[in-house]
Structure 1
């Protein structure tokens, strides 16, 4: 099995970090879950692949549009710790999780109707090999859906400021905004196997508080690997940014809650 996983992902999402990740990271808008159901034209129950701690899995399983749409769901995840959290939080007899990578899923040829990769593909180490693997396991006319939740830097000054403070420590982390993952769509493997990509975006607000935001910060892979004093300094600085609150829109000032600008991005690649 291919074991090439980014070093920061290996250490940043190691044992003891992913309970916070699962608690701190947001779920997905119902609109995007509905949109993904429409990606597949099949009315029969679908075979689906994806991975993670179970945040997206739980959102999908709970969504009414998917109530009768899933035959088998196989999650593929290289992190032992993330698989542990997934198994603790997902309880559905159609679902299972195994160890695997983007370019070595262990899934048989032409098994999947959909591959859904939530909050993960920016970690891919080889876009060509991944595209070849996706093409191998997808049925004809199947599709890959890449999806990400991200704080909206343009939504409020405090969001941009705290992201700038946090990302000082990214140290080579292939973050989504860098767009390295877009190299996928120009690889020979992708071009031969998939139609041109389709992109969708949703903008919305979540509930924010000091704890919600600082937990989100501390769930970042490149923050979890910092020495404790450095991590504490990041959190202290972020709290200062939140206290200044440039562009903050209060929901309930007495309770300390305010709007958290977010966006969800989805990219669909259909098998030829």
Structure 2
């Protein structure tokens, strides 16, 4: 993702540096107005350390906004079938939770470290749709962690299974332009906003 960003964003106001939620790269204390995390915070290895670092880099009235790009698994049709196909492999990770609200990172909001520095998280979902084609949906599906880690031949087999789903469940697609093969991809995007406690 960073490579694509570097290739497409040409603006002197942007820069890229190595870093993690637990240790940012040369960011001064109290520097940031807002920190965005897009489909990323659940990969954090040490949530308490991440909370400390977020508190360090934020200004006194700073805000953190986490978002996750997720297809809506509660729609009846091809998207639900895609999730069911993906779940077969995602469950092999051993700690996979199907529902977003059950993902382990939510536990950080109950820690003393979090409560010391931040107010209660504000949680919402934004429902919308993006424009997709079979190829776009399959390419995105192949980025799912467990699908991406499959051996190439197995990944191709699973991608073909999804292609079969998209073909057999074409009647559930909401077409934008059937001739061009574009249809609505239902999205259910969780957004979590956290604000610093006044100090």
* TM-score grouping bracket, smaller chain normalisation: 0.7 to 0.9
| Residue of structure 2 equivalent to 1:93 | 12
Listed as ranges, the gaps of 5+ residues in structure 1 are 1-52, 54-81
| Residue of structure 1 equivalent to 2:24 | 105
Offset at 1:183?
Answer: 1.1
| Residue of structure 1 equivalent to 2:115 | 191
Equivalenced residues, count: 191
Query: Which one of the candidate residues 224, 240, 253 is aligned to 2:178?
Result: 253
1 or 2 for the larger relative contact order (CA 8 Å, sep ≥6)? 2
> Aligned with 1:190: secondary structure?
helix
* Mapping for residues 1-272 of structure 1, pairs under 5 Å: 53=1, 82=2, 84-106=3-25, 107-170=27-90, 171-172=92-93, 177=100, 178-245=102-169, 247-272=172-197
Offset at 1:266?
Answer: 1.2
Listed as ranges, the gaps of 5+ residues in structure 2 are none
> Aligned with 1:149: secondary structure?
coil
TM-score scaled to structure 1, two decimals? 0.65
Can you list the C-alpha shifts for 1:65-87, whole angstroms capped at 9, x where unaligned? xxxxxxxxxxxxxxxxx3x3332
- Once superposed, which parts of structure 1, at least 4 consecutive aligned residues long, lie more than 3 Å away? 173-176
In 2, Cα distance between equivalents of 1:105 and 1:249: 42
TM-score scaled to structure 2, two decimals? 0.88
In 2, Cα distance between equivalents of 1:98 and 1:251: 39
In 1, Cα distance between equivalents of 2:31 and 2:178: 51
Conserved in 2, the CA contact under 8 Å of 1:156 and 1:248? no
Counterparts in 2 of 1:186 and 1:94: CA distance versus 1, 3 Å: same
Offset at 1:174?
Answer: 5.6
